[in-house]
Amino acid sequence: MSSSTSSSSSSSSSSFAFSSPSAPHPLAPYGWDAAWEAEFAPYAAQGLLAGRVVRADRGQCDVVTADGLVRADTAFVTPHDPLRVVCAGDWAAVDPDGTPQYVRAYLPRRTAFVRSTSSKRSEGQILAANVDHVVIAVSLAGELDLNRIERFLALAWESGAQPLVVLTKADLVPDPVGLSYLVQDVETAAPGVQVLPVSSATGEGVDVLAAVVAGGTSVLLGVSGAGKSTLANALLGEDAMAVQAIRDVDGKGRHTTTTRNLLLLPGGGVLIDTPGLRGVGMWDAGTGVGHVFSEIEKLAEECRFHDCAHQAEPGCAVLAAIEDGTLPERRLDSYRKLLRENQYIVAKTDARLRAEIRKDWKRKGAQGRAAMEAKRGRVS
């Protein structure tokens, strides 16, 4: 495929009309539509080439365009801001020719999956852009970690995309009843989310998953050993992604995908495969947390006090639900933990919120001291 093209050909490719069904835009399989075309119009007028980023690494990226694959430098797109760097899934405006070619801009993102980095600076890291589905791969080779699933889901909802939990290696649970219980456990932790058991070895559920992801762009996420690369190969119908052996002792494996890659699926749609994630830190995902724990937030509306902390307050509907067994205590513990973590991350980048948190701590401390003094008075 050609890595460069003339200015005139790039302009005609970028403004290719969607009105002719017999001649679809060459980038249509990658998600290009009339709305993206309208967004790109100012760049087309400058003679820039439209393309989708299929891979980004070390200040450069591969961009698929109407005229072929382009290797472009990203130095002009504020690379020092982790949330503004070019990433897989972006729609980019690229120089039509030159050595090297540059990404001059990327179009505003419709959705973005962001997590906090493991650095002490607590920066956000964008993993994928313009995705319609977040596919969370969870292996059935080991014990389910529902708290981790909830963490992934909070970030997925916050991204603006629709989450989907895929339970991989379903063939390792041959008992249908046992498998159904595992699905139910995950469904409890993932309200409003489809939970799909899949086996790349037997093909179970792969056709259903392929039908879901055929409708747009999907990003595949999960920890090491979750079976993401094997699942990607099953969807692609070929061994496009390398697969490493998994240790029998703990069901874990080494990272087989080292960069985020956007892959065109034979059944329609595109898939962004990602490396196994060692950590999934919260990043300003308060709305996402509320979505994952929607039943708790709905119960909280019935509490006697609007600022109920669900600790020991009288008339707390959340604690009442735990007492009568309708709400698992694990869910409340996970909810509190994610809220605290998210508040901490947001506070590190928001001075006003830090001040509010300190004020709240002082208020609660004063209340605690007053309660202790009252208790001592009653004792004496």
Q: What is the pLDDT of residues 290-348, one digit of tens each?
A: 999 999 999 999 999 988 989 888 999 999 999 999 999 999 999 999 998 888 777 77
Structural contact between residues 280 and 155, judged by C-beta atoms closer than 8 angstroms: yes
Tell whether the torsion through CA atoms of 245, 247, 252 and 258 is positive or negative.
negative
pLDDT at 10: 38
Structural contact between residues 164 and 135, judged by C-beta atoms closer than 8 angstroms: yes
pTM, rounded to two decimals: 0.80
CA angle 87, 92, 94 (to 5 degrees): 125
Of 152-161, 214-223, 280-289, give the lowest mean pLDDT range.
Answer: 280-289
Q: Which residue has the tokens 């967004």?
A: 39
Report residue 282: phi and psi, to 5°.
Answer: -70, 150
DSSP state of 96: S
Of 101-105, 206-210, 239-243, 291-295, give the lowest mean pLDDT range.
Answer: 239-243
pLDDT at 4: 38
**Cα–Cα distance list, 220 to 57, 140, 165, 240, 347 (Å):** 18, 17, 10, 15, 29
Mean pLDDT of the chain: 82
In sequence order, which residues have a C-beta less than 8 Å from that of residue 257 and are 6 or more positions away?
228, 229, 241, 242, 273, 274, 275, 276
User: What would the pLDDT profile of 120-150 be if each residue is shown by its tens digit?
Assistant: 555 778 899 999 999 999 999 999 999 999 9
**Is residue 163 over pLDDT 50?**
yes
Quick one: what percent of the chain has pLDDT higher than 70? 75
Q: Which residue has the tokens 């970690």?
A: 145
pLDDT at 83: 80
In sequence order, which residues have a C-beta less than 8 Å from that of residue 19 and are 6 or more positions away?
none
Q: Which amino acid is at 35?
A: A
Of 107-121, 130-144, 230-244, give the lowest mean pLDDT range.
Answer: 230-244
What whole-number distance in Å separates Cα of residue 254 and Cα of residue 223? 10
What confidence tier does 278 reach under pLDDT thresholds 50, 70, 90? low
DSSP letters of 263-311?
A: EE-TTSSEEEE-PPPS--B--S-HHHHHHHTHHHHHHHTTSSSTT--SS
DSSP letters of 304-344?
A: SSTT--SSS-TT-HHHHHHHTTSS-HHHHHHHHHHHHHHHH
Cα dihedral 184/189/192/194 (nearest 10): -50
What confidence tier does 78 reach under pLDDT thresholds 50, 70, 90? low
